[in-house]
Structure 1
Amino acid sequence: MIPQEVIRAKRNGETLPPAVIYDFVSALSRNEISEGQVAAFAMAVWFSGMTAEETVALTLAMRDSGDVMSWPDLDRPVGDKHSTGGVGDNVSLMLAPIAAACGLAVPMISGRGLGHTGGTLDKLESIPGYDIFPSKERFSEIVRGVGCAIIGQTGEIAPADKRLYAIRDVTATVDSVPLITGSILSKKLAAGLQSLVMDVKTGNGAFMQSLEEAETLARSIVDVANGAGVKTTALITDMNEPLADCAGNAVEVAHAMEFLEGGKAGTRIHAAVMAFAAEMLVNAGLAADLGEGERRAAEALASGRAMEVFGRMVHAQGGPVDFTSCWRDQLPKAPVIRPVPAPRSGFVAGFHTRDVGLAVIGLGGGRIRPEDMIDHRTGFTAIIPVGGEVSAGEPLAFVHAADEDTAAAAIAAYVDCATIADAAEAQPVVYKRIS
């Protein structure tokens, strides 16, 4: 296998045989292919696409590049949820403990920020001591003992995808259906899942900006995953505004804690979390229908069992034993917090949501290069959603920054992100279900 010949063939729109894809991915995982060649391959796929057969081959080759877990003696079903990424999307932080409190085992392998979107791992690293890279054995122990664990890709889990993922982030090749499908499912299949729910975002803050693009990706993931023996459904959800009322890292962990305390009922993100919890429970056979699944999830939240599970997970992964009771004191805080004044009175009518994510990166809350360090303290809070009313000069949000100059730049950027009109109304958070 000569890497440049594989790149040339894909650049020219040729269909790569599964054996060639397998050899290329194997060489990639052994660092026998240069970063430039990997980037060229990703760009060739971005332009030329892949057939269903090629996508399956890519997915399985990346899965098989490392260890594949199994759970033969576990006394509960194994399931997970994954999002294509958005702004203010911290659903996993609440969903994993809710599902675990309902009897599901959730071995969640998550990623860092990708492009303008936030990463679950970056958020969890806001928690002092939280280990996102436990050993395979420790990961298994936590899932068995607690019910859920949220970790990153170790060198043992889909290492080929880990390398490709980082290069895609900085080469404008994120929004490719076969590359997204292969990246997501290689990790999920390596975790030994029996069921999966996909959150495919659509809108101006998503990689799939149109509903048609989102449906194409959702169908690709659902078909490939079910073909691999993992019962999978997908929800297409709105990303034309930040999902939570905040965007950043530590601020999204704080939001998750407020959610688990019962403080976010009636919000868009509450609706999203309950919808995904119901899907997870139905796919795992723990609920007869979506209505029962949502009722069980609501009870796990209201009873405090989900918060208890979250606290046990944090401690099992190296975090403070008392995090759920003392999180306000333990999360890092930005030294400068300033309001973003509304330029006029009216209703928030829309967002340039991608630009909100880029503004978080500008604050230091994301990466431009893979090796960049993140300032977990920064971001936006108290974001007024679409349909919310505001008076001139009142806060559209609050910026959390490292210094006054950075705060001022973020305020100006955020004002340009939000549209205010004389009237506006909220849009549904879930557009469509793919099964």
Structure 2
Amino acid sequence: MNVIDVIVTKRDRARLSDEQIDWVVDAYTRGSVADEQMAALAMAILLNGMDAGEIARWTQAMIDSGEVLELGDVGRPLVDKHSTGGVGDKITLPLAPLVAACGAAVPQLSGRGLGHTGGTLDKLEAIPGWRASLSTEEIAAQLADVGAVICATTPTLAPADRKLYALRDVTGTVESIPLIASSIMSKKIAEGTGGLVLDVKFGSGAFMKTPERARELGETMVAIGAAHGLATTALLTDMSVPLGRAVGNALEVEESVEVLRGGGPADIVELTVALAREMLALAGIEDVDPAQVLASGKAHAVWERMIAAQGGDPGAPMPVAGHVEELVADRSGVLTRMDAYAVGVAAWRLGAGRARKEDAVQAAAGVRLLVDIGDEVEAGQPLLELHTDTPDAVAGARAALDGGVVVSDGPAVRPALLSETIRA
């Protein structure tokens, strides 16, 4: 097999054979194919696409590059969720303990944030003592005991994806739907879950900017799941406005705990319950209403056990920023715009996110939203709080919000959160 032949095949819009896919993914993982050669192939895939069979085989090759997580029988049906990322998207935090409280087991292997979207592990590491890295044995034991685990991906899970993901990031090939879909699904299938619900976001704060692109990605991932025998459902959800009222690590943990105690913002509750219903359906649990379980506070008890099992102190006070400033309305009227991307970039500049994977994040940094789309406000009224430990960062955050937070004559209606559901 020759890597040039593989590149030329896709360059010329032909179909890659199963043998070509298996070989090139394995050879790249082992270092026999150079980065510049795989970059050329990734660009050819971005420009010319892949059919469903190619995508399924590419996904399998990435799974085969590492080990499949062997969790064994944990005494409950396994079901997982994945979000394509957004601003204020802390849904995993209340969702995993909620689904566990309803009788399923949730092996939630998560990642860190990059750019304007937050990472689940970064949020949880704001909790004193909590640790992200667990062995396979620890994951299985916690699922059997607690019913939920949120932790870092194990190093042996789809190593080809880890290497290719880093390459795509620096070669302008991140946007390829076949490569996005196979990246996500290879890790989730290798995780060994029995069912998977995808939260595919669209809008200014999402990776996919339009519903059409989000639908294409959702349909591609659901098809991959079907091809690999994994029951998969995708929900398309709006990310033009931040989720909830908190954007940042410790701030989002605090808001998640509010939701788990039966309160919290209505949109967080709505999406958490919607995803829980789909997860429970895939797990075959039909006689439990997740909305009632969430309102009862039972999920909060699971949260405390989950955090404690990973060394965290669920009762410890969260970090507080050393510097807080307000962004106030420049006129009276109606809040007509709260752009998710602008808020996400502001939180990132305040220290809540990172520009490079090796960068540190501030646990207490972020943005707190004080008003919602459609609210009437007075001139001088605070609209946002900017939280940071580095006051010099506030100017950059304010610049990011310029034009992203708008008060005008109105009226304005917050967009519907749930758009559509895709099933195999």
Q: 1:11 to 1:248 in 2, by over 3 A?
A: farther
Q: Quote the residue 2:123 is aligned against.
A: 123
Counterpart-to-counterpart distance in 2, 1:283 and 1:236: 17
Deviations 1:401-429 (A, max 9, x none): 12222123212322432232211112211
Residue 269 of structure 1: SS of its match in structure 2?
A: helix
1:317 to 301, 305, 310: 310
For the structure 1 residues 51 and 374, does the alpha-carbon distance in structure 2 shift closer, same or farther, using more than 3 Å as the test? Answer: same
Q: Which letter does structure 1 place at the counterpart of 2:327?
A: V
Contact 1:114 1:169 survives alignment (8 Å): no
Alignment match of 1:340 (pick from 318, 327, 351): 327
User: In 2 relative to 1, CA 123–45 (structure 1 residues): closer, same or farther, beyond 3 Å?
Assistant: farther
Provide structure 1 residue ranges, at least 5 long, that are not aligned to the other structure: none
Alpha-carbon distance in 1 for matches of 2:366, 2:153: 25
Query: Displacement, 1:380?
Result: 0.5
The residue identity in structure 2 corresponding to 1:241 is V
1:263 aligns with 2:263: yes
1:358 alignment partner in structure 2: 345
Query: Could you report, residue by residue, the CA deviation over 1:120-174 in whole angstroms, capped at 9, with x for unpaired residues?
Result: 1221222223222211111111112110111122212122222223343454433
User: 2: distance between equivalents of 1:17 and 1:111?
Assistant: 32
Shift of residue 218 of structure 1? Answer: 1.1
Q: Is residue 2:101 matched to residue 1:101?
A: yes
Matches of 2:69 and 2:111, distance apart in 1: 18
TM alignment of 1:182-193, pairs within 5 A: 182-193=182-193
Determine if the alignment matches structure 1 residue 425 to structure 2 residue 413.
Answer: yes
- Provide closer, same or farther for how the CA distance between residues 302 and 199 of structure 1 changes in structure 2, counting only shifts above 3 A: same
State the distance in 2 between where 1:369 and 1:100 align. Answer: 34
Q: Kindly provide the CA deviation profile for residues 275-329 of structure 1, in whole angstroms up to 9, marking residues without a partner as x.
A: 1111111111101xxxx65xx2123223322111111111212212xx1x33xx2
Q: Out of 365, 374, 385, which is 1:398 matched to?
A: 385
Query: Which residue type is aligned with residue 44 of structure 2?
Result: A
- Give, as a single letter, the amino acid of the residue that structure 1 aligns with 2:181: T
Query: Offset of 1:384 from its aligned partner?
Result: 2.6
**Normalising by the residue count of structure 2, what TM-score does the alignment of the two structures yield?**
0.93
- Per the alignment, residue 176 of structure 1 pairs with 176
8 A Cα contact 2:70 2:136, kept in partner: no
Q: Distance in 2 between matches of 1:44 and 1:126?
A: 41
Q: Deviations over 1:165-224 (max 9, x none)?
A: 334345443332112211111111111111111111111222221111111111111111
CA shift in 2, pair 1:168/1:87, >3 Å: farther
Matched, 1:275 2:274: yes
Deviations 1:255-289 (A, max 9, x none): 11121122215x112111111111111111101xx
Distance, in Å, in 1 between the alignment partners of 2:186 and 2:176 is 15
Q: 1:164 to 1:334 in 2, by over 3 A?
A: farther
Give the conservation status (yes or no) of the 8 Å contact 1:170–1:369.
no
Distance in 2, matches of 1:253 and 1:32, equals: 43
Amino acid across the alignment from 1:362: R
* In 2, Cα distance between equivalents of 1:310 and 1:268: 20
| Contact kept? 1:153, 1:162, Cα under 8 Å | no
User: Quick check: 1:153–1:159 contact (8 Å CA) kept in 2?
Assistant: no
- CA distance, structure 1, for counterparts of residue 19 and residue 171 of structure 2: 26
Q: 2:284 is matched with which residue?
A: 285
SS of equivalent residue, structure 1 residue 416: coil
Show the 5 A alignment for 1:26-175. 26-175=26-175
Aligned length: 422
Whole-angstrom distance in 1 between the partners of 2:320 and 2:11: 47
Alignment partner of 2:403: what SS? helix
Give the structure-1-normalised TM-score: 0.91
Gaps of 5+ in 2: none
- Equivalent position of 1:368 in the other structure: 355
1:344 deviates by 2.1
CA contact (8 A) 2:346 2:367 kept: no
Q: Are the equivalent residues in 2 in contact too, given 1:343–1:415 (CA < 8 A)?
A: no
The one-letter amino acid of 1:128's match is P
| Percent identity of equivalent pairs | 44
Amino acid at match of 1:284: A
Moved more, 41-50 or 274-283: 41-50
> Could you say if the C-alpha distance between residues 15 and 385 of structure 1 is closer, same or farther in structure 2, counting changes exceeding 3 Å?
farther
Question: Secondary structure of 2:16's partner?
Answer: coil
> Is the partner of 1:25 in helix, strand or coil?
helix
Whether contact under 8 Å (1:115, 1:170) holds in the other structure is: no
Spell out the pairing of 1:176-215 with structure 2 (5 A cutoff): 176-215=176-215
CA distance in 1 between counterparts of 2:355 and 2:197 reads: 30
